[in-house]
Every structure is written in structure tokens, then in C-alpha cells.
């Protein structure tokens, strides 16, 4: 069980890698304009919340969804973790302003690791979290 948690934590954390020269999240195309990044980490546990908002084209968004192996969330979607974690939480006074609905949200969930994204107003909204 402990080893599995480490593996899940490692797979969640890889989405937070950035290119050293540009500080660009690795999954974004070079032409993306990053508008917002926030990152919280527990420090000891693999717990984290990572949010990115960036201007990308719809074609670029679709490619990110494919590369990240995200699937469209529907009311019938089944998850092995509590659905409460799949939630868009805008941060007042910041550029992190996704709508709260889950329509058009693409998801990957394994254990306590969630990655989800949607395309709104010409931007990708991307969250990775582990709890």
C-alpha cells in the first residue's frame, strides 16, 4: 500500500514539471501564454494542488487532453475516489476564474490523484491534485 501511494504521488507530481529556461509547464505548447499558476504542496506527503490557466487554441487543448489521457466527465462517470475532489474552485481577485460547472471537463483519476481540465474563453484551465 505504501509503495502504491508513492507511485501515485510521483505520477501526479510529474504534471508540475516546468521547463528550466522558460518556467513553462511542460504539457503546454511553446506558444501558450501562461496567465496564472498556483502551487501548494504539503512538503512531507505527496499532497498538492496545482492550477494553471493559459491561453491556447482549441486544437492545442485537444492535444493536451489526448497526451494527458483525460476523458470527458459525464454524470454517469465512475470514479474510485470521492467525487467532491472533482470541483472547480475559482479564487476571487485572481486570474483563476473557471466556471464552477463540470460541463466539458476532462478527467483522469487514479487513487487519490486527480487531473482535470477544461477549455473556456480561449484558455485551458488545468488542475492536478493529490490528497
For the stretch 31-77, pLDDT in tens is 999 999 998 877 776 688 999 999 999 999 999 999 999 999 999 99
Tell me: pLDDT of 24 over 70.
yes
Taking the C-alpha atoms of residue 81 and residue 36, their distance in angstroms, rounded to an integer, is 27
* Residue 131 pLDDT exceeds 70: yes
Helix (H, G, I), strand (E, B) or coil at 84: helix
Q: What is the pTM of this model?
A: 0.82
Q: How many CB atoms lie under 10 A from the CB of residue 31?
A: 10
Amino acid at each position: 500500500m505504501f509503495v502504491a501511494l508513492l507511485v501515485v504521488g510521483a505520477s501526479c507530481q510529474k504534471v508540475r514539471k516546468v521547463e528550466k529556461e522558460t518556467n513553462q509547464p511542460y504539457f503546454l505548447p511553446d506558444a501558450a501564454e501562461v496567465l496564472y499558476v498556483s502551487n501548494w504542496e504539503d512538503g512531507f506527503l505527496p499532497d498538492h494542488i496545482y492550477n494553471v490557466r493559459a491561453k491556447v487554441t482549441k486544437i492545442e487543448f485537444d492535444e493536451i487532453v489526448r497526451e494527458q489521457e483525460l476523458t470527458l466527465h459525464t454524470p454517469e462517470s465512475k470514479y474510485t475516489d470521492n467525487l467532491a475532489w472533482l470541483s472547480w474552485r475559482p479564487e476571487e481577485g485572481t486570474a483563476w476564474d473557471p466556471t464552477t460547472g463540470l460541463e466539458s471537463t476532462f478527467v483522469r483519476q487514479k487513487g487519490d490523484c486527480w487531473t482535470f481540465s477544461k477549455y473556456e474563453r480561449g484558455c485551458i484551465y488545468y488542475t492536478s491534485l493529490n490528497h
